Amino acid sequence: MNSLSPSFSCTIGHWLIQPLWLITLILLIQPALAAQALVPRPPSLSATAYLLMDADTGAILVAHKDDVKLPPASLTKMMTAYILVYELDRGNVSLDDVVRISEKAWRTPGSRMFVQEGKFVSLQNLMRGVIVQSGNDASVALAEHLAGSEAAFADLMNRHAVRLGMTGSNFINATGLPDENHYTTARDLAILAREIINAYPEHYKVYSEREFTYNKIRQPNRNKLLWRDSSVDGLKTGHTDAAGFCLVASAKRDGQRLISVVMGTKSVETRVQESQRLLAYGTRFFETYPLYEAGIELVKARVWGGSEDHLSLGLTNNLLVTIPRGQSKYLKGIMEFDQNIETPLTAGQIYGQVNVMLDDELISRRPLVALANMDEGGFLKRVTDLIRRSFNQLIEPKLDH
């Protein structure tokens, strides 16, 4: 993980005029402003809505009608499969569990895994039937097993959507079969894809499988990008007359993972080509730049009455930013942190923030937290710190208001 090599802009005088409770450190790579990044306009696609997101940072690089509510068709199955993985992660179900196929699941129209009524199918096979074969029958069987009925499962889908911040979505079924009240947005689908990729990487591997055979019927994954681009490893296709041809894809190239969402194209080939254009644009003109590692001391803060004089502050997660290519040397990290910290304190408590600037633009903000616990100091230490603190407050210059 790279970090901004600090040349502190704070002089002694700068420190003295700061309020005692707050100190600001500015970490500069280079004092000059960046030359304007030569990033062209994003491509205009033949699609109703589309979006390009950096999977690591969540930065939106391209967006067109990304908050318009649209029918998602089989992109719905991303949420269906996500809930299964969510339940697996919590130990509520196992991939070895077997599911009895109901008449409703067997009779569900549309794309099929070709399960048979009354037969028992493992959750592992149903997962692949949903993700790889896009089986509506598998989706209904999965929903009934996890929630008792498809209607109850749809309620669960909507609860998860709220939890993930998918504010433009409403799910009526587990399959994506047409319903006027069943809709989502390009932005929401990107949010869901990012969660699938980052939260459950082991299960995400299923999205890269090119084919799956069940009941002696081999079916290929409908995501043609899996064959055309070795950097693409997911996620899901969808199609109905109302939705058009849709594709959510993800590619990882040179450490950068991007998520593209294309909705409402006119053909299978168009959704593939337009997804490729989005991914190529993001790779060519942007980079995901690592700044600070989680758990590494970024700054020391003064502690009063503690067993130690200073507290190490850092981040709970790695900090990466999405920037135009070649602009990393112009990044600036501004550390704002409390200088009035008292003990006892617990690791993870927030005592400041780091603001990452590219020229005058704020591109990321993260809390600075205590990296360790600290107990109160002994009686003599507390008294000594009290005297020092009172003296500092007396000599601190009064700021103009």
Written as six digits, the tokens of 283 are: 């790779």
Exactly one of 111, 134, 275, 364 is catalytic; which is it?
134
Is-catalytic flag, 74? yes
CB 29: neighbour CB atoms within 10 A?
15
- How many Cα atoms occupy the beta-carbon half-sphere of 384 within 13 Å? 11
Q: Are 232 and 226 in contact (CB under 8 A)?
A: yes
Rounded CA separation 334/275 (Å) = 37
Residue 77 a catalytic site member: yes
Taking alpha carbons only, the member of 284, 224, 243, 258 closest to residue 47 is 243
Tokens in use for 55? 């999977």
Task: Give the whole-angstrom CA distance, residue 134 versus residue 342.
Answer: 57
Among 77, 224, 236, 332, the one annotated catalytic: 77
Q: Which two tokens stand for residue 198?
A: 């980052």
From 7, 44, 69, 74, active-site residue: 74
Are 265 and 46 a contacting pair, CB within 8 Å?
A: yes
Give the span between the Cα atoms of 297 and 95, in whole angstroms.
Answer: 41
Task: Please answer whether residues 267 and 245 qualify as being in contact, where contact means their C-beta atoms are separated by less than 8 angstroms.
Answer: yes
> How many residues make up the chain in this entry?
401
List CB contacts of 108: < 8 A, sequence separation 6 or more.
136, 137, 139, 140, 175, 177
CB contact at 8 A, 185 and 169: yes
Asked if 216 is an active-site residue, the reply is no
Determine the residue type at 190: A
> Which residues belong to the active site?
74, 77, 134
